[in-house]
Structure 1
Amino acid sequence: MTSAPNLSGIHHVAYRCKDAKETTEFYQRVMGMNFDVAFAENEVPSTGEYDPYMHIFLDAGGGNILAFFELPEQPDMGKDPNTPTWVQHIAFKVNTLDELLAAKANAEAEGLEVLGPTHHGIFKSIYFFDPNGHRLEIACDIGTDEEMKELRRVAPEMLEEWSRTKKAPQHAAWLHEKARDEH
């Protein structure tokens, strides 16, 4: 009999970038991330294919690593034309609302257009794009333990209703009301 693995976290998440140096400098300057490791190869280790690449690893804190591949011999990066730009994003966490506002000020000082803070009921966040067109989010949790407990309780019911109707269930309507009330 087989069983699911006992995961201890995410080792790293990898995306593509246009320029490894520019991407590294952006994440160091704008996001405060440390540049940890880089690999440059001419062949892909898992497949043996010839495809030169630079693979960079940036420390997002808490043992979380964000990685990028620069692939100079591949066609230019593209986006899924059927997925809205707000859907695919990388969300980072800060601990306080003051840190969130400081992150916004820092990104704006870099000349980035920043959306937010947006109130999601249990967290507030800001959004902007990196030099590769990847949407980034910085979020700060504001939900109470009771609110999180209730959201976990109704999650299976919400998923089941969504699966049947493809419409937003009202199980957590209080969350949206909370966000509206605080605006």
Structure 2
Amino acid sequence: MTLKVILAGDPAIAVTEEAMPALPKWELSHIGLFVTDMDRMRDFYTRLLGFSVMDAGEMGDAPRRVRLTFLSKDPKDHHQIVLVSGREQGTRSTVNQITYRVASLKEVRAMHDLAVANKVEGVDPVDHGNAWSVYFLDPEGNRLEFFCDTPWHVQQPHRVALDFSLSDKAIREATRRRIANDPTLLPFGKWREKKRRELGLAASRPRRQRKRA
């Protein structure tokens, strides 16, 4: 679509420019990781994190032939992660983080305990104010995060250590008290609605409860 733009309020001074087309709706589907040791990485993601192998095979001609393993936890997605051979031994991961949302603080704690019990490297529990998280490394140094939302928003970045020696109730109260005087504090629902308005999105509608017969 072409727009006519009037400059300085004078219709005689006008230029035309191409308007940006509306973007289609999209969502993140899957990630691909180049790996050094396919078998070790496949074992980590299936045995420890519970992914299933949806497909596996090889592609291409020598010397560029690669192995691929497609992993998912939901059959609506053929793969959520694809592991691809070809990463050189000893190279540093360039992945900052791969993040998974879980339902509650209880599940974040469970992933923390799982990583500790299996002696996974880089275990790092963090309170972000708007999220409770645990980070750890996969066998090739890619940093994984498992998190749940808190009921609040505070401006990011925001990071303090999360103490899993406390109960879930005590952690919630510690976070609430620590951020109580933060000038950016908002209930997370209000922050989301504010951002929806700023982004020009329709307001979210509360779900209606079905009446019992």
- TM-score bin, normalised by smaller chain: 0.5 to 0.7
Aligned residue for 1:54? 67
TM-score, normalised with respect to structure 1: 0.65
Q: CA offsets, 1:124-145, max 9 Å, x none?
A: 0001100111011111112359
Identical aligned residues as a percent: 26
Partners of 1:153 and 1:53 in 2: CA distance: 46
Give the ranges of 4+ consecutive aligned residues of structure 1 lying more than 4 Å apart after TM superposition.
154-157
Aligned residue pairs, count: 144
Give yes or no for contact 2:98–2:145 (8 Å, CA) kept in 1.
yes
TM-score, normalised with respect to structure 2: 0.57
Task: Please say which structure displays the higher CA radius of gyration.
Answer: 2
Aligned residue for 2:91? 78
Give yes or no for contact 1:16–1:77 (8 Å, CA) kept in 2.
no
TM-aligned CA deviation for residue 29 of structure 1? 1.9
RMSD: 3.2
Partners of 2:107 and 2:71 in 1: CA distance: 20
Aligned residue for 2:48? 30
Match of 1:149 among 190, 194, 198: 190
| Structure 1 residues 5 and 21: CA distance shift in structure 2, 3 A | farther
TM-aligned CA deviation for residue 110 of structure 1? 1.0
**Residue 124 of structure 1 pairs with residue 137 of structure 2:** no
Q: Give the helix-richer structure, 1 or 2.
A: 1
Partners of 1:11 and 1:77 in 2: CA distance: 29
Partners of 2:28 and 2:131 in 1: CA distance: 22
Give yes or no for contact 1:57–1:66 (8 Å, CA) kept in 2.
yes
Aligned partner letter, 2:28 = I
**Secondary structure of 2:41's match?**
helix
**Residue 15 of structure 1 pairs with residue 33 of structure 2:** yes
In structure 2, list runs of 5 or more residues that go unmatched: 2-19, 153-185, 199-213
In structure 1, list runs of 5 or more residues that go unmatched: 44-48, 158-183
Give yes or no for contact 2:36–2:88 (8 Å, CA) kept in 1.
no
| Structure 1 residues 76 and 123: CA distance shift in structure 2, 3 A | same
Partners of 1:128 and 1:75 in 2: CA distance: 22
Give yes or no for contact 2:132–2:148 (8 Å, CA) kept in 1.
yes
Aligned partner letter, 1:51 = R
Match of 1:110 among 91, 112, 118: 118
Aligned residue for 1:179? none
